[in-house]
Amino acid sequence: MKVLLPLSALCALLMLASLLIGPAGAGLGGSLAALWSGEGALGLVMREIRAPRAVLGLLVGASLGLSGAAMQGYLRNPLAEPGLIGVSASAALGAVIALQTGFATAFVLALPIAALAGAVLAVGLILIMAGPGGGSLALILAGVAISALAGALTSLVLNLSPNPFAANEIVFWMMGSLADRSWLHVAIAAPFMAAGAAMLWGAGRGLDALTLGEDAAASLGIDLPRLRLRLVLGVAAMVGAATAVAGAIGFVGLVVPHLLRGAVGARPGRLLAASALGGAALVLAADIAVRLILPGRDLKLGVVMALIGAPVFLHLIWRQRRGR
């Protein structure tokens, strides 16, 4: 498709910019040479700080964009987003518990592992509550209930926290960030994201058929319960892994499919790849903005994403209203 090539080129340019921008000022040639050789302090910065951050930004953005497009295609609702099924809220709850109990400081990988455990628990509850034959409405209701419960439990942990430093750390983690991430975080998240992407990538034909309605899709040979299971597991794996390593980052899965839907002919199957690339580009651009706007302060990625995503979404709503 024509839109995939420009998006791929944009992602490549933003990856390069993410590698070059940072407090350790160095020229283009010196930075790339240090990245290649790995020698000296600059080589350590390039390989162990900037490179995993750039790769993680690419993976997190692609996961959120792809998941958002899949959710909107399955539910046939442009307001659907990955957090609708409660996985991100449950992953955040797992991470909050790890921070509050001190496991996150005792074991370097305790936080992402606890977040992934929360996501897995949410998937189990969703599948139990929605039932084997439940439709999209049952999935939405189950997800809303689990998301509300996870949010309430997270607030309860904050409310009862006897340690103000732990509460402050929890609040800052929930704002979302890619700073201080290492290759260990990439190694934890990448397998789950790859498995989720494989599940969602094969759902394109079913999502296209669903545009005609569930009855028409079933008559075309689409196994709707299997499609729902694939979608839930795929979204849970990708969003859970993204939340586990980067915290709560919103608006990507909601805004990106809207921006690219017209470029792919409004076909949900074609929108999957475009949204993955668009989400990656958006997160990389926002992470670069984090380092440029207030380089001396720990500006959080989730805050910048909300400041970007909310006005863009309002503009899309206004444009749609004026186009009627």
Cβ distance 142 to 85 under 8 Å? yes
Q: What is the reported pLDDT for 30?
A: 66
Cβ distance 21 to 139 under 8 Å? no
Q: What angle do CA 239, 165, 147 make, to 5 degrees?
A: 30
- Once rounded to an integer, what is the mean pLDDT over residues 199-208? 87
Q: What is the reported pLDDT for 6?
A: 93
Q: Which residue has the higher pLDDT, 160 or 286?
A: 286
142/139 Cα distance (integer angstroms): 5
The residue with tokens 């103000």 is: 164
21/50 Cα distance (integer angstroms): 9
What are the boundaries of each domain within the chain?
A: 4-323
pLDDT value at 199 more than 70 = yes
**pLDDT band with cut points at 50, 70 and 90 for residue 220:** confident
145/238 Cα distance (integer angstroms): 20
pLDDT value at 9 more than 70 = yes
Q: What is the reported pLDDT for 136?
A: 75
**pLDDT band with cut points at 50, 70 and 90 for residue 174:** confident
pLDDT value at 181 more than 70 = yes
pLDDT value at 324 more than 70 = no
Closest among 298, 1, 309 to 178, alpha carbons compared: 298
Cβ distance 136 to 85 under 8 Å? no
Q: What is the reported pLDDT for 296?
A: 73
- Once rounded to an integer, what is the mean pLDDT over residues 294-316? 82
Closest among 179, 231, 206 to 60, alpha carbons compared: 179
pLDDT of 130-162, one tens digit each?
776 667 778 888 888 999 999 999 989 888 877
User: What secondary structure letter does DSSP report for 21?
Assistant: -
Cα 6 to Cα 3, 278, 284: the distances in Å are: 6, 10, 15
CA terminus-to-terminus distance, the chain: 28
Q: What is the reported pLDDT for 31?
A: 67
For helices 136-159 and 51-75, give the axis angle rounded to 10 degrees: 140
Q: What is the reported pLDDT for 299?
A: 83
**pLDDT band with cut points at 50, 70 and 90 for residue 186:** very high
**pLDDT band with cut points at 50, 70 and 90 for residue 288:** very high
Please give the CATH architecture assigned to the domain spanning 4-323. Answer: Orthogonal Bundle (1.10)
- Once rounded to an integer, what is the mean pLDDT over residues 260-287? 90
User: Is 297 strand, coil or helix?
Assistant: coil
65/253 Cα distance (integer angstroms): 5
- Once rounded to an integer, what is the mean pLDDT over residues 99-121? 82
pLDDT value at 12 more than 90 = yes
118/90 Cα distance (integer angstroms): 5
Model pTM score: 0.89
**pLDDT band with cut points at 50, 70 and 90 for residue 10:** very high
**pLDDT band with cut points at 50, 70 and 90 for residue 23:** low
- Once rounded to an integer, what is the mean pLDDT over residues 155-179? 82
Which of 35-39, 95-99, 108-112, 195-199 tops mean pLDDT?
A: 195-199
**pLDDT band with cut points at 50, 70 and 90 for residue 57:** very high
Backbone CA torsion sign across 253, 256, 262, 264: negative
Give DSSP secondary structure letters for 283-296.
Answer: HHHHHHHHHHH-TT
Give DSSP secondary structure letters for 158-184.
Answer: HHT-S-HHHHHHHHHHHT---TT--HH
